[in-house]
């Protein structure tokens, strides 16, 4: 949020389960990996929140942080989920 505040940008939060969610994988390929998204993403601070079940993909510290964000911003645990936040959250 501090980065967004400094840059006067909104935050695009992307909740994913990269290891087991087919829709998340499709969204990454069909949306995030496109040139169009790369151009538009300059207008946002991007926050990728992976709540993977594969413990080898993330450090314990990162997984704990991601689960805290999940509890705060994605209470229904919907995947994939995109949220736009202002710099105040």
Token pair, residue 64, equals 């704990």
Helices (H), 1-89: 2-7, 22-27, 35-40, 60-73
The pLDDT assigned to 88 comes to 87
Residue 33: CB partners within 8 Å, gap ≥ 6? none
Please report, for the domain that includes residue 60, its CATH number: 3.40.30.10
Prediction pTM value: 0.89
Q: Domain limits at 72?
A: 2-35+44-85
For 61-79, the pLDDT digits (tens) are 999 999 999 999 999 999 9
For 2-37, the pLDDT digits (tens) are 999 999 999 999 999 999 999 999 999 999 999 999
What is the number of structural domains in the chain?
Answer: 1
Question: β-strands 10-16, 81-85: how paired?
Answer: antiparallel
Task: Please state, as a whole number, how many other Cβ atoms lie within 10 Å of the Cβ of residue 45.
Answer: 19
């Amino acid at each position: 949020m501090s980065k967004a505040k400094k840059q006067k940008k909104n935050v695009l939060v992307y909740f994913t389960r990269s290891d087991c969610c087919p829709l998340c994988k499709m969204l990454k390929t069909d949306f995030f990996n496109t040139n169009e998204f790369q151009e538009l993403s300059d207008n946002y601070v991007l926050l990728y929140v992976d709540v993977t079940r594969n413990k080898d993909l993330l450090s314990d510290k990162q997984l704990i942080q991601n689960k805290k964000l999940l509890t705060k911003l994605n209470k229904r645990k919907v995947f994939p989920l995109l949220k736009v936040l202002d710099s105040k959250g």
